[in-house]
Amino acid sequence: MAPLGERSIHRSESREGRDTVGRVTPDQLTPTGTADAALLALELSDPPSPARRVTTPLQHHELVPPLDPFGEDRPVPLPGSAGEHLLQRAFGTDKRARRFYDEQVLDHLNAEMKEFIGRMEMAFVATSDTRGECDASLRAGPPGFIQVLDDRHLCYPEYRGNGVLASLGNISENPHIGILLVDFVTDLIGLHVNGRARIVEDADMRAIHPALPAEFDRGRTPERWVVVQVEEAYVHCRKHIPRMVPVHRQRSWGTDDSRRKGGDYFGAKGTPRPWHREPATS
């Protein structure tokens, strides 16, 4: 392995990503921290080469994670990713992170978490496809729209929407999901729930869980449900959560009128898209 300085120069000259005047862009910067140069020179921000890919039995291409500095031979691995653990070691936060894992991260939902989920009216949902292309989406409903099924499972409804199905499409390829619930009104605290998701049709879901709500606000009947098997559940610090106050407003529920739904708020309509181009002819 070359010394850190030599690797930094090599990366600056060889990688794409310079701006129009030749300056190095942020994605080329070498990680910095409290560790020695040999550890920082792991090029943690570089994408793995094609040789670092493996093929699953489903023929999905996945990136091989880096070696975990906290050991991959533990009977039960620590929460978090190998990259997370590498950066903790590099930036000198490993003891603080280990304390957080030991004191705050659970592999199930406890009573306080269940109560919190039961009164939430919205959730931020993160998914990605098999290539790692990500999507973050908002889900909302009356308190209790997210149902806790047991200590290790929750579910939320998928109502009739715009038909893009970005989150569900990702889940159909890649079951990993991250959910963030935040109380902006009362306690100013958040809850992360990470796990594995599957899509279940409404009728099939009710056959298994007949106690699911049968009446929904404004007639928003679920078409299907996303069932999440909990792998991690932990607090989100209140330090930077703003306080918000709900206000009453009139909404046009169930409409297909794009103007009432927000329409072309960002002025995107009519802009040329790469996928509009005609294929080249020989």
Q: What's residue 160's pLDDT? A: 83
Residue 126 lies in a domain: yes
The more confident residue out of 54 and 27 is 27
Lowest-pLDDT range of 3-12, 95-104, 118-127, 215-224: 3-12
The more confident residue out of 263 and 223 is 223
Number of domains comprising the chain: 2
Domain termination site, one of 66, 82, 104: 104
**Is the distance from CB of 94 to CB of 88 less than 8 angstroms?**
yes
Q: Based on the domain organization, do 129 and 100 belong to the same domain?
A: no
The CATH number of residue 148's host domain is: 2.30.110.10
The more confident residue out of 254 and 120 is 120
List b or e across 249-279, with b for residues whose CB sees 16 or more CB atoms inside 10 angstroms: eeeeeeeeeeeeeeeeeeeeeeeeeeeeeee
Residue 220 lies in a domain: yes
Query: At 275, is the secondary structure helix, strand, or coil?
Result: helix
Q: Based on the domain organization, do 121 and 187 belong to the same domain?
A: yes
Q: Based on the domain organization, do 36 and 142 belong to the same domain?
A: no
Q: What is the pTM of this model?
A: 0.75
Cα three-residue angle 95-98-104, rounded to 5 degrees: 135
> Residue 12: pLDDT band by 50, 70, 90 thresholds?
very low
**Is the distance from CB of 69 to CB of 11 less than 8 angstroms?**
no
Query: At 123, is the secondary structure helix, strand, or coil?
Result: strand
Mean pLDDT for 132-152 is 95
Q: Which amino acid is at 29?
A: L
- Rounded mean pLDDT of the chain? 79
Mean pLDDT for 248-261 is 63
The more confident residue out of 220 and 46 is 220
- pLDDT(21) > 90: no
> Residue 263: pLDDT band by 50, 70, 90 thresholds?
confident
Summarised one tens digit per residue, pLDDT across range 163-210 is 899 999 999 999 999 999 999 999 999 999 999 999 999 999 999 999
Lowest-pLDDT range of 145-159, 172-186, 196-210, 247-261: 247-261
Cα–Cα distances (Å) from 230 to 143, 148, 192, 208, 233, in that order, read 20, 11, 10, 18, 7
Q: Which two tokens stand for residue 200?
A: 């279940």
Structural domain boundaries enclosing 36: 4-11+18-104
Q: What's residue 239's pLDDT? A: 87
Instruction: Report CA 269 to chain centroid distance, whole Å.
Output: 28
Q: What's residue 277's pLDDT? A: 83
> Residue 146: pLDDT band by 50, 70, 90 thresholds?
very high
Q: In what order do the strands lie in the sheet with 147-150?
A: 134-140, 122-128, 176-183, 189-201, 224-236, 153-158, 147-150
Domain termination site, one of 198, 213, 236: 236
Mean pLDDT for 19-32 is 52
Q: Based on the domain organization, do 89 and 124 belong to the same domain?
A: no
Summarised one tens digit per residue, pLDDT across range 53-75 is 444 444 444 567 678 888 767 78
